[in-house]
Structure 1
Amino acid sequence: MYTQIRDLYPEYPGVSRAAPAVVSTDLETLRVGEGILAILLAGGIEPRTAGWARDALSLYVSACALEQSLVRQRRRHPDAEWVLGHEELLDRLSALPAERFPQTRRHAAELISGTGQDRFEFALGLLVNGKRPASG
């Protein structure tokens, strides 16, 4: 359900900027929230925990959508040097001073591994049930 919500954000530019700051009382938004709450409660989650989880999940999805919106916006401009490709990011992390960033250098490839979808699903899993990343 949250993947579908995330995928709708690009159709409504600007919503991801406003969503974290507004508690919507729009009936359609409340209907979606009701469905999410029902799923969490059906899974045996206590009402308070379910409400807080729904808030955290919604904030996470909004933040992901906002990040993607900003990346798309900046990529349209020729001065978008801050949008790095995978290899360039790996090179930069691997070139950090070893004495100050030993862990980042050593694990640079793992730190930036996975697709955006992989990372999105992982974070939702953490928020919902403490899911651990698959090894491999």
Structure 2
Amino acid sequence: MSPTPQERRAARHQLGTGPGGPGTSAARRGPSGGRKKPITVDAIIGAAFGIVASEGYEALTMRRVATALETGPSSLYAHVVNKEDLDELLIGRLCAEIDLPEPDPAHWRRQVTGVCTQLRDQYLRYPGISRAAFAAAPSNLDTLRVGEGMLAILLAGGVGPQAAAWAIDSLMLYVNAYSLEASLANERLSREDDVWVVGRDELLRRFAALPDTFPHTKRHAAELTAGTTHDRFDFTIGLMIDGLG
């Protein structure tokens, strides 16, 4: 009996591959009889990344992936359980690209910041894809690998196990949210008729025009609008890490 989609998913979690995984494919023929690229997990992931890179995460659906692969949605379900499973695979593939350093007690803060920065940059390559990481159980081995690496770094730095565990959750949540906000801001900036995203000069003008019931905002407008988004990212990550001791 052929494995169910759920069994294929479980096999990927346990072994990194399995029946219906990247090594399993089925040859197909195109409309003219020529051979088409076989459907594999890797082909599905590649098509999904292509859609997100060009159209954003909101455009990603199983039907859209099937169209890109010149097949029907039902063909994808022989390899991917559902959209949530595809999301998990995409985040796992990005996590697989993260370089995890050997834990160094003398430089653990810098190492944790480096892992967070790598993950941020991976997410920013694909607009809005960090949305797929929200509320996702870290059961994919590639995703768990990043958590394992961060836990090892924090423990080496003398952070207690419970604080380290919750710190990883908080750091990941911030990276996901930051990446999503950056993607949304870039999308708005690309729309010429959008008035919600304004530059620093315009923000300073608006703050200066506020009534006197906002004295602190008016007085410290320069500080409130200072720095790049990545400056704020580094500050927040540093603030969170310093709170660990």
The TM-score with structure 1 as length reference comes to: 0.89
Q: What corresponds to 1:41 in structure 2?
A: 155
Q: Counterparts of 1:36-115 in structure 2 under 5 Å?
A: 36-98=150-212, 100-115=213-228
Following superposition, the deviation at residue 77 of structure 1 comes to 1.6
Q: Is the 8 A contact 2:130 2:176 kept in 1?
A: yes
Structure 2 gaps, min length 5: 1-114
Q: How big is each residue's C-alpha offset from its partner over 1:3-29, in whole Å with a ceiling of 9 and x where there is no partner? A: 110000023344211222212211111
Q: Which has the higher contact order (CA 8 A, sep 6+)?
A: 1
Following superposition, the deviation at residue 56 of structure 1 comes to 0.5
Give runs of ≥4 in structure 1 deviating > 6 Å. none
Code of the aligned partner of 1:38: A
Structure 1 gaps, min length 5: 132-136
Q: How big is each residue's C-alpha offset from its partner over 1:29-50, in whole Å with a ceiling of 9 and x where there is no partner? A: 1001110111111110001100
CA separation of 1:24 and 1:13: change in aligned 2, threshold 3 A: farther
Q: Give the structure with the higher percent helix.
A: 1
Code of the aligned partner of 1:80: D
Percent of pairs with identical residues? 56
SS in 2 for 1:12: coil
Following superposition, the deviation at residue 74 of structure 1 comes to 1.4
The TM-score with structure 2 as length reference comes to: 0.51
Which is further off, 77-86 or 11-20? 11-20
Out of 4, 10, 23, the residue aligned to residue 137 of structure 2 is 23
SS in 2 for 1:21: coil
Structure 2: how far apart are the matches of 1:127 and 1:14?
24
Q: How big is each residue's C-alpha offset from its partner over 1:71-91, in whole Å with a ceiling of 9 and x where there is no partner? A: 111122222211101100111
Q: Give the aligned CA root-mean-square deviation in angstroms.
A: 1.5
Task: State the structure with more CA Rg.
Answer: 2
